[in-house]
């Protein structure tokens, strides 16, 4: 009798490899997309004018102890421990009790500066009235008595400890999406739907135990039928109005089945285990849907609106179709006169730059010697050029500059030629000793890589004011030109909620003053002569080589916070905190009268005023300074 050979085993290796590849191809893109939006930022969370989303790092700070992680999601994972200063080194008041979680910075004090209460704006649609400013010989900026923090913020409902913890966890993971979702939460009439879900969960938890009992076959079939009917109804219903008219009978039948199941002798541990399993599955499902919503929100705030893209394309095409401007009508002769008042704006957004310029000249008494220099990238250069050639802003002159081309032609040693907009860092603040107080999130904006080459681009100028493109000016800024900053380089609003001592592990062995405060971009007075005298650009490049690679975009942006703080730690001239009201890009609680009476408004945060996701109550201040070009804006459906 011949021995038969055993059947050859099938190869399972290739099959498993294919299944693993398919599984990874589904999960990896989702994980990658969600990791682009971690809880804390060390690069930029400002909305970009292109669909490519920036990379973010994570940094967490706790006062009074060691903390922290700095995580770079774009270039691997890097962890940096940083110890916070002792509470005695911090500012008195609420800052001693605060626990700071920093998406790029830490703070126990609000970044929303106190504001000026100049004369009220009688008609919001018109430029606000002029105010008198300090005499040239006075160094500090004299501003009226500041309002209390409670006077500038709308009263909010007191939250209990559980609500605070939930809000805290949400903002740590999803950032400003949580604030947006709370404000836009819809009240759903789904009491009956929720009752159906509760019945379904209880029935599912009892069903496995009942199915194992002998003599309970009828009850098992009844439970199974009721579970299937509930699942069918819930798959088609979200609110009570979607439910069929006979739903009450189904609820009664399910109640009877559950009551009979509870009367049976079953192992309570099995029921408890099943209930917990269902609970965990439900929580995971809810978290997954929140991740989806947060991703779509972040995609919306980081993507240029279609109408704005259309406007740029039409302006670019029209630029090449139109006849060149007559050289006699060109204001180019004003661009390099040091005695004129020069404003510098870095922007990739035509309408945003236009609003900054229009609001500044509308609030200025004399605009004859005012010059605006708009630094933009190659993609938007011709659109900007054509827009500002078609629109006039009183007697001021507008100079549009292709930043990338200038750096490429004249300064190749500076590394990357890309234009970087001001970098923003999200700051999450909560109190350990007073957990019932509402946790809050702030945004700190600082200079980007491109800002440090302004003195090289404008070699003939002595002094400039740098404006972010998300700023609206409501009062005359002429008094800033009369400031005597002494030996200082950068006139800025300080942010003493974050000190260099809190970043000592991140800063390494670099020499720094641990008590030096952070500062805010938005409205900055720059003394270019002192800048060149102190070689700030050279020092910046040295620090950049130490903290990262100046040819790598992610590295350059991640290093913006420590390098900006180190570069100006002894060269900062503090402007009054009430010069700029910040937070209009994320804080829903600012009072209308406070915003109207502020010298300038800073829309730092994700919800920029030109986005549909912008905060509606604050968009009107931006829109009223929007120069309307009927032809292009109507064709692209851009709302004024």
Which residue range is the domain that position 378 belongs to? 306-636
User: Measured between alpha carbons, how far is 133 from 478 in angstroms, rounded to an integer?
Assistant: 8
> Which of these ranges, 116-130, 196-210, 567-581, 592-606, has the smallest mean pLDDT?
116-130
Give residue 433's pLDDT.
62
Q: Which of 256, 274, 302 is the last residue of a domain?
A: 302
The answer to whether position 149 is within a domain reads no
Classify residue 343 by its DSSP letter.
E
Rg (CA), the chain: 30
Given a cut of 90, is residue 460 above it in pLDDT? yes
Give residue 70's pLDDT.
36
Give, in order, the Cα–Cα distances in Å from 458 to each of 452, 455, 526: 12, 5, 12
> Which of these ranges, 5-19, 39-53, 223-237, 251-265, has the smallest mean pLDDT?
39-53
pTM over 0.75: no
Q: Which of 302, 330, 365 is the last residue of a domain?
A: 302
Shared domain for 384 and 478, answered yes or no, is: yes
Given a cut of 90, is residue 491 above it in pLDDT? yes
Shared domain for 272 and 311, answered yes or no, is: no
Reported as a single tens digit per residue, the pLDDT across 143-170 is 433 444 455 555 555 455 666 667 767 7
Q: At 423, list the tokens.
A: 């970098």
Instruction: Count how many Cα atoms sit within 13 Å of the Cα of residue 449 in the half-sphere of its side chain.
Output: 30
Shared domain for 441 and 565, answered yes or no, is: yes
Can you give the CATH number for the domain in which 369 is found? 3.90.550.10
Shared domain for 604 and 548, answered yes or no, is: yes
CB 461 within 8 A of CB 477: no
The answer to whether position 14 is within a domain reads no
Q: Name all contacts of 97-100 with Cβ < 8 Å and 24+ positions apart.
A: 97/431, 97/432, 97/433, 97/434, 98/63, 98/429, 98/430, 98/431, 98/432, 99/62, 99/63, 99/429, 99/430, 99/431, 99/432, 100/61, 100/62, 100/63, 100/427, 100/428, 100/429, 100/497, 100/498, 100/502
How many angstroms separate the most distant Cα atoms in the chain?
117
User: Measured between alpha carbons, how far is 179 from 171 in angstroms, rounded to an integer?
Assistant: 8
Shared domain for 265 and 325, answered yes or no, is: no
Shared domain for 353 and 239, answered yes or no, is: no
Element (H, E) at 98: strand 98-103
The answer to whether position 584 is within a domain reads yes
Taking alpha carbons only, the member of 340, 287, 556 closest to residue 448 is 556
Shared domain for 544 and 595, answered yes or no, is: yes
Given a cut of 80, is residue 420 above it in pLDDT? yes
Shared domain for 526 and 564, answered yes or no, is: yes
Taking alpha carbons only, the member of 599, 571, 605 closest to residue 585 is 605
Q: What is the DSSP string of 385-424?
A: HHHHHH---TT-EEEEEEHHHHHHHH-GGG------PPEE
Find the length of the chain.
Answer: 640
Segment 359-388 shows an average pLDDT of: 93
Taking alpha carbons only, the member of 565, 561, 534 closest to residue 548 is 561
The answer to whether position 184 is within a domain reads no
The answer to whether position 236 is within a domain reads yes
Shared domain for 366 and 468, answered yes or no, is: yes
Spatial neighbors of 75 by CB under 8 A, at least 6 apart, are 55, 552, 554, 555
Give residue 571's pLDDT.
92
Structurally, the chain folds into a number of domains equal to 2
User: Measured between alpha carbons, how far is 534 from 512 in angstroms, rounded to an integer?
Assistant: 16
Helix, strand, or coil (residue 442): strand
Shared domain for 368 and 427, answered yes or no, is: yes
The answer to whether position 144 is within a domain reads no
CB 34 within 8 A of CB 297: no
Give residue 618's pLDDT.
92
Q: Which of 302, 329, 355 is the last residue of a domain?
A: 302
- Taking each helix axis from N to C end, the angle separating 378-390 and 350-362, rounded to the nearest 10 degrees, works out to 40
Q: At 219, list the tokens.
A: 């009850």
Shared domain for 419 and 320, answered yes or no, is: yes
Q: At 140, list the tokens.
A: 């500090």
Given a cut of 60, is residue 174 above it in pLDDT? yes
Beta bridge partners of 373: 344, 399
Taking residue 319's Cβ as centre, other Cβ atoms within 10 Å add up to: 18
Classify residue 135 by its DSSP letter.
-
User: Measured between alpha carbons, how far is 444 from 607 in angstroms, rounded to an integer?
Assistant: 14
Q: At 468, list the tokens.
A: 């972010």
The answer to whether position 394 is within a domain reads yes
pLDDT band at 438 (very low <50, low <70, confident <90, very high): low
Give residue 208's pLDDT.
87
Given a cut of 80, is residue 493 above it in pLDDT? yes
The answer to whether position 230 is within a domain reads yes
pLDDT band at 24 (very low <50, low <70, confident <90, very high): low
Shared domain for 263 and 325, answered yes or no, is: no
Segment 118-127 shows an average pLDDT of: 36
pLDDT band at 634 (very low <50, low <70, confident <90, very high): low
């Amino acid at each position: 009798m011949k021995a038969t050979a055993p059947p050859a085993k099938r190869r399972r290796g290739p099959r498993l490899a294919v299944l693993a590849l398919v599984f990874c191809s589904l999960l990896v893109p989702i994980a990658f997309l969600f990791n682009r939006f971690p809880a804390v930022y060390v690069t930029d969370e400002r909305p970009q004018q292109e669909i490519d989303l920036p990379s973010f790092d994570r940094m967490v700070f706790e006062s009074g102890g060691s903390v922290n992680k700095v995580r770079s999601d774009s270039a691997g994972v890097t962890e940096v421990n940083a110890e916070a200063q002792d509470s005695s080194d911090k500012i008195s008041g609420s800052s001693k009790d605060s626990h700071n979680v920093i998406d790029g910075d830490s703070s126990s004090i609000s970044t929303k500066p106190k504001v000026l209460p100049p004369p009220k704006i009688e008609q919001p649609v018109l430029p606000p009235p002029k105010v008198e400013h300090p005499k040239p010989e006075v160094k500090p900026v004299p501003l009226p008595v500041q309002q209390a923090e409670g006077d500038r913020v709308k009263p909010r409902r007191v939250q209990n400890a559980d609500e605070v913890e939930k809000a805290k966890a949400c903002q740590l993971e999803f950032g400003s999406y949580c604030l947006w979702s709370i404000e836009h939460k819809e009240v759903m009439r789904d009491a009956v739907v929720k009752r159906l879900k509760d019945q379904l969960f209880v029935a599912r938890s009892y069903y496995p135990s009942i199915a194992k009992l002998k003599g309970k076959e009828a009850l098992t079939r009844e439970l199974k039928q009721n579970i299937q009917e509930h699942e069918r109804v819930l798959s088609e219903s979200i609110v009570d109005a979607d439910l069929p008219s006979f739903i009450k009978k189904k609820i009664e039948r399910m109640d009877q089945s559950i009551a009979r199941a509870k009367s049976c002798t079953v192992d309570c541990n099995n029921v408890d285990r099943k209930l917990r399993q269902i609970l965990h599955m439900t929580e995971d499902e809810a978290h997954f849907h929140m991740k989806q919503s947060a991703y779509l929100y972040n995609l919306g705030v980081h993507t240029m609106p279609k109408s704005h893209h259309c406007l740029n394309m039409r302006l670019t095409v029209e630029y090449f179709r139109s006849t060149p401007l007559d050289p006699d009508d060109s204001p180019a002769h004003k661009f390099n006169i040091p005695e004129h008042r020069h404003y510098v704006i870095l922007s990739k957004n035509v309408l945003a730059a236009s609003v900054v310029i229009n609001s500044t000249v509308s609030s200025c008494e004399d605009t004859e010697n005012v010059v605006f220099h708009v630094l933009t990238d190659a993609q938007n250069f011709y659109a900007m050029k054509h827009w500002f050639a078609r629109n006039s802003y009183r007697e001021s002159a507008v100079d549009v500059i292709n930043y990338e081309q200038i750096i490429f032609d004249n300064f190749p040693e500076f590394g990357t030629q890309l234009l970087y907009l001001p970098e923003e860092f999200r700051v999450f603040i909560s109190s350990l000793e007073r957990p019932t107080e509402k946790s809050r999130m702030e945004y700190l904006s600082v200079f980007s890589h491109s800002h440090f080459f302004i003195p090289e681009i404008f070699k003939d100028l002595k002094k400039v004011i740098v404006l972010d493109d998300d700023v609206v000016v409501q009062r005359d800024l002429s008094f800033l030109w009369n400031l005597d900053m002494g030996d200082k380089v950068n006139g800025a609003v300080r942010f003493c909620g974050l000190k260099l001592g809190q970043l000592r592990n991140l800063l390494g062995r670099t020499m720094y003053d641990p008590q030096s405060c952070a500062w805010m971009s938005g409205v900055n007075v720059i003394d270019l002569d002192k800048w060149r005298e102190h070689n700030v650009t050279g020092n910046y490049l040295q620090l950049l080589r130490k903290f990262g690679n100046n040819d790598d975009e992610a590295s350059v942006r991640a290093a913006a916070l420590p390098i900006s703080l180190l570069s100006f730690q002894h060269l900062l001239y503090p402007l009054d905190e009430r010069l700029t009201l910040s937070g209009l890009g994320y804080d829903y609680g600012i009072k209308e009268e406070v915003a109207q009476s502020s010298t300038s408004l800073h829309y730092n945060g994700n919800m920029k005023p030109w986005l549909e996701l912008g905060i509606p109550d604050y968009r009107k201040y931006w829109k009223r300074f929007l120069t309307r070009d009927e032809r292009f804006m109507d064709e692209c459906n851009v709302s004024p």
